[in-house]
Chains A and B, each alone.
Chain A
Amino acid sequence: MSSERLTPPPTASAERATPALPHRVFSHFARRSLALNRSRTVVSIIGITLSCALITAIFTSAATLMQSLLNATIEHSGSWQIEVESMTDDALQELESDGRVAQLYERPYYGSALLPEECETWYYRYLNAQAWPTEEETQGLLPLPKLIEGRVPTTENEIVLPSSLKGRLESDCAWDSGETRTATGRDDAVPRMTWYDKLEIDSEIELAFGERLWLDPELNREHAALASETLYTDLQGDESQLGEWLGNVETPQRFRVVGFYEEDSVWMSTNGYLGFVCRDTTLPVRSTDAFMSTNLSDRTSIDELAIDYTKQTDQSQTGVIHDTIAERHETLLRYQLLNDNRDIWGTLYSLAAILSGVVMIASISLVYNSFAISISERTRQYGLLSSLGASRRQIRRTVFTEALILVCISIPLGLLTGLIGTSVVFHIAGEGIEKLVGATLGVTNRTLNIAINPYVLGVAIVLTLFTVFISATVPAFRASRVSAVEAIRQTRDVHVVGKSHRDSKHAGQLETTDFMPRGFDRLRMRLLGVPDWLAHRNLTRARSKGRVAVASLAVSVSLLIASGSISHYMSYLVDVVDSNASNIVLDASVTPRGDNASQTFLSSIAAAYQDLSDVEGVTPRGYFFTVELYAKGTPGTFSTTDVTSEAARTVSDIPEQLLADDGSIYARTSLVFVDDESWESIVEDNGLDKTVYCDANHPVGIGQNDMPTNDGKRYGSRNPFDAPGTLEAYTHIAAQDGSWFSGISLQDGKIMARYDQVAYNDGDTTETNLPLNDVALDTYELPIGAILSNVPSCLGNHTFIWPTVILPASALPALAQGSAYEVASSFDTNSNAPFVFNKGSEDANAATLALTFSFDATNAHIAEEEMNRSISEGLNNDTWGVGWQRIDLINNAENARNSLLVYQTIQLFIGCFFLITGAIAISNVFTTLSSSIILRRREFAMLKSAGMGERAFRRMIAFECGSYAWRGLVGGLAIGAIVTYFIWRAMCTSFYEIDYSLPLDWVIASFCVVVGVLALSTRYALRKSGHGSIIQTLREDVI
């Protein structure tokens, strides 16, 4: 027995063998291996670092965006998670001692007072009173209301009102003049809010506060209406009948207005106005709303807390039932990852997960390759270790130790690089991100601090560890399976694809000559020589070696192309956003009046334009007005292809362009009259003759081609003109009594004017068609002297719909001449009588011109205010003349800039992602290719000892690299083309007439990258493998 104990039986499992070599030896072995293979170690470290950095950057970006969204939400609507409305005192006391509540703000509601009868509207009936909140009370749970004038209420009879009531008279305080709902009559006797004169600071108002009540018919009990809710209507569903009334009303009290605040989405009322009194008021508290944040971390507990306080409570003193409801702050909870659908992954985080997945796949392939190659290079060493008694587990541990050393260096570097990189990108794109988030994070501090979240860093570390572990596992097992004999004989060195099955058939039957290269092989050898033939043999018989390099090359190429495509197609978006639209635009409709209507109109708009241009900091960019009419283009003027194009048809259901039998085309046409200064610059810029184009009595138009269009869904461009020619403009088509001109149509080869008559009783339309020439009262032969292929800057704000002819404003009288003395009838419209400015009867529709002034402003906001003042002065003092109907001053500056910033930010992020992933793929190519060459150094030495010269050797390597290059490029181009196709399809939802194309510059760049990487890795590998010394190489593997 004792002898058995002394000599343990040989273990069947080498796994559990006695540790023949201490573990230290293996970690030493791992460290030495890494140090000796410095270049590959560096590439692996770079790869893992990039991967860790990218994962860190992706998640940090997501966390930062999430944080910004959260901050924006908190700034906008406060940090409350749950609001319990209309709480009783008992419930409040319970809530105050509830351990789940972190912060609590109690907002008392002191009841509502009826607005003056003149002020009551469909939606507005009350002035509600709440206590003015202070920062100590709200603790950030709610943002504070913004006082814009006066001060906060401090004594019991002071009140702060919304700024919308400022300056209002009791008789004129309704915000619209619509209908009101019919009251129940139960509060007819309740005194309404009263005041004298305009509401200003120190105005005195009298208010009788009560409680909004409604009757539950089943229980016949009175309920209190929720303060936040809109007016309760009749339970039978009659919207015009009120279902609530004001009850339990206090005696009227006088209040002094001490301030006005700005209403916003938090501080407003849905049933009237909201006023603030101070907390020391003698008014009874009708109910209290509680806003709270919790220390709960899951949605279920939050829901439970909300439900716990949601109950009906009997208010015993008054006998009124109070319904308590709870509301969850869903926007905030979503960004706290506590949203309703229990989806713990917010959209941003799932996007981050997908991107990280891509990065991990790229990194795994890189690190795996690096390990696999390093292991197979050292097969002999592992065999030797194994022959010396190293167990499989010990050998595996060696590989994992190597991985661990790499990870220990790479992860800190990766985290740091990722955070710095993200910080730099966010710094560059800070403003764009801010716009993306929609937050107004303060004007002074525009830099966005990245959110360094320990969880995010943890995720990055875990994912990187996982990547490296996965990458090292297969090589580790492979290394541990190497048997001593195999390793020493080095049979695993090169894995070659044999054809033994097929060949063995021929045994003994054929002459040896049959085995010589023939057919294509012979031709290849004759044309390109032995180096190419050898390279081909190597590529076809040791295929797996090249596959990874080719795949990595293809991935790099496709990533570069995808990156290029995104930036290419994004430029369309940026172009649309950044069209040369000016900062401030004034849109107006003007009906010229008087005897000499068109002349008067021209001088009145010139005066208005001058006034607005005089505003400080404003630079005029020109103006234009448009007239739409039907015109007949002589053959060759309008483009026949454009008439039938999809773009031309999708503008409207009715065909607006018709091809007549004689080849002339009838089209709805826009005449755009630009100010004379802009006109002159168009004429000059295009090298046209001023004497021809600047004669107001004989105007010559310019056709607009390459005009940007939008069919309501997508953007594109159109070329409606083929060549200069003549348009016969239908300046006046006769109106028909009882029906409206609605367009033209082609019937039996004749162009007809279509009139629609709408029957008043059933709404049916009756269509009448009359030959166009019979109803044309006036036409104008308008020569089109030139065609423009770029949109002049003065038309940056024009929306192109129909074929457009540009004319000088001074040409208006000439075109309007024929209809100048006509009087508009009730059935005239802009379409049939665009120049009939004289109004007949009261309901007649004199023609209206759509006018647009464009300006640039150094400070668009200030300029906008000044210009508004100028507009009211101009209109009130009649210096702008008559006929101005609708004026809209639009400030485009901010919108355009914001969208531009957002697109640029997205582009920056996508670009960074693709480029870094591309870099990982490129390091992969480098590792794979250089290692595969280094691994073959023995084979190269054999070839040389058999008499292969240096030149032939170089040619062989060049042929092999050439093969990798074209396969990688073709593969990459194919994948890139597919990815580009999807990007293009995505863009087609917003644009039409954008062509599918591969970004040529990026294709060339990827070609250069492929050539560069191949050259670099081959050069490096050949130098590393010391190809000069044959004997050394042949000897070094011999143990």
Chain B
Amino acid sequence: MNILSVEHLTRVYGTGSTAVKALDDVSFEVEAGEFIAIIGSSGSGKSTLMHLMGGVDRPTSGTVKLQGQDIFARSDEQLAVFRRREVGLIYQFYNLIPVLNVVENITLPVLMDGRAVNEQRLSGLVRALGLQGREHYLPNQLSGGQQQRVAIGRALMNEPAIVLADEPTGNLDSKNSAEIMSMLRAANRQFKQTHIIITHDENIALMADRVIAIEDGRIVRDERRN
């Protein structure tokens, strides 16, 4: 079943002579529960693609449909709701809120939605992420690996249909990288979530079910692995 379909997505930055085409007529479909790696060299447009899929940026043309609905047909306010309910975003530089502690950062999307925190799920997440005993720590009291785990927790807390991660291990050592990747993989399997990981690390790509390669804003390879 298709959960996400990207159709003729184009994103141009700047205008006139300084215009840069970051994405050029990109189309592909994602099935529910897939674990996809998008690979490409620096400046190939993979991060742009992720931001568009995550609803933090709007395309120049084309659509992104989540469960058949065009996400860009929504207003900014509705798009914010979309971001906190339906996708989980993970960045290379964690992007945690410095004044909120571990638990507060993880539960932020739920709280912003005005819903009650599923405490069972929270404690399960904290345990799974290995953050027990650090629930009250503020981001600057954590290591890079721990911060990224909090970011993953935040992305998973709302049980989103789709998790988007932009170089989630780009800032970590190999041991931490392996741990983070296995966590994401476990979440994918356990909750049947769709995961799209942007990376330029071939080893990480090898863990994916499907690898999409982008060059100069176009898909140059899209292969499924068994």
Contact = CB atoms under 8 A, between A and B. Distances in A.
B136 A946 contact: no
Contacts of A504: 133
B84 A942 contact: no
Contacts of A952: 80, 112
B182 interface: no
A529 interface: yes
Contacts of B111: 525, 530, 533
A516 interface: yes
A96 B37 CA distance: 105
B70 to A, nearest CB: 19
B191 interface: no
Contacts of A529: 114
A515 interface: yes
Interface in A1022-1039: 1030-1031, 1034, 1038
A945 interface: yes
A854 B187 CA distance: 100
A1031 B56 contact: yes
B27 interface: no
A950 interface: yes
B119 A537 contact: no
B97 A943 contact: yes
B93 A507 contact: no
B23 to A, nearest CB: 13
Contacts of B77: 949-951
Contacts of B76: 949-950
Nearest to A940: B97
A499 B137 CA distance: 7
A764 interface: no
B82 to A, nearest CB: 8
B69 interface: no
Interface string B136-147: 111011000000
Contact of B112 (A491, A506, A948): A948
B135 interface: yes
A882 interface: no
A592 to B, nearest CB: 89
Contacts of B91: 945, 1034
A507 B57 contact: no
Given A515-B101, A946-B83, A499 B136 contact: yes
Interface in B60-109: 76-77, 80-85, 89, 91-93, 95-104, 107-109
B98 A946 contact: no
A1030 B57 contact: yes
Given A507-B132, A512-B126, A945 B56 contact: yes
Interface residues of A, number: 46
A950 B112 CA distance: 12
Contact of A512 (B56, B93, B109, B123): B123
B76 to A, nearest CB: 6
A215 to B, nearest CB: 95
B113 interface: yes
Contacts of A498: 137-138, 140-141
Nearest to A511: B123
A949 B123 CA distance: 27
A515 B119 CA distance: 10
A544 to B, nearest CB: 12
B133 A946 contact: no
A515 B103 contact: yes
Interface string A913-954: 000000000000000000000000011011111111111100
A941 B103 CA distance: 20
Contacts of A947: 80-85, 109, 112-113
A508 B133 contact: yes
Contacts of A491: 140
B204 interface: no
Interface in A453-507: 491, 493-494, 496, 498-500, 502-504, 506-507
Contacts of A861: none
B134 interface: yes
A946 B108 contact: yes
B98 A939 contact: yes
B122 interface: yes
A938 B107 CA distance: 20
Interface string A681-706: 00000000000000000000000000
A1006 B133 CA distance: 48
B91 to A, nearest CB: 7
B122 A946 contact: no
Contact of A541 (B96, B99, B137): B99
Contacts of A938: 95
B97 A942 contact: yes
A949 B81 contact: yes
Interface in B18-54: 51, 54
Contacts of B138: 496, 498, 500, 541
A967 to B, nearest CB: 18
Contacts of A757: none
Contact of A506 (B83, B92, B136, B140): B136
Nearest to B131: A512
A513 interface: yes
B210 interface: no
B12 interface: no
B57 A1031 contact: yes
Contact of A538 (B99, B103, B107, B113): B99
A494 B104 CA distance: 17
Interface string A523-547: 0010001100110011001100000
A947 B134 CA distance: 25
A532 to B, nearest CB: 12
Contacts of B85: 947
Nearest to A1032: B57
B154 interface: yes
B206 interface: no
A790 B225 CA distance: 101
A512 B132 CA distance: 8
Contacts of B132: 507-508, 512
B148 to A, nearest CB: 14
A494 B133 contact: no
Nearest to A490: B93
A516 B113 contact: no
A950 B80 contact: yes
A131 to B, nearest CB: 88
B99 A516 contact: no
Nearest to B154: A946
A515 B125 CA distance: 14
Contacts of B141: 498, 500
Interface string A173-190: 000000000000000000
Contacts of B133: 504, 506-508
B117 interface: yes
B89 A946 contact: yes
Contact of B137 (A503, A513, A942, A943): A503
A380 to B, nearest CB: 12
Nearest to B126: A512
Nearest to A541: B99
A507 B97 contact: no
B135 A512 contact: yes
A949 to B, nearest CB: 4
Given A945-B56, A949-B76, 17 more contacts: A499-B136, A500-B136, A504-B133, A507-B134, A512-B122, A516-B122, A537-B100, A938-B95, A943-B108, A944-B80, A946-B84, A947-B83, A948-B80, A950-B80, A952-B112, A1030-B56, A1031-B56
19 contacts: A498-B138, A499-B136, A507-B133, A507-B134, A513-B123, A515-B136, A516-B117, A516-B122, A530-B111, A530-B114, A533-B111, A534-B97, A537-B104, A942-B97, A946-B84, A946-B89, A946-B154, A949-B76, A950-B77
For the complex of A and B, 5 pairs with smallest distance between CB atoms: A947-B84, A507-B133, A503-B136, A949-B80, A947-B83
Interface of A: 491, 493-494, 496, 498-500, 502-504, 506-508, 511-513, 515-517, 525, 529-530, 533-534, 537-538, 541-542, 938-939, 941-952, 1030-1031, 1034, 1038
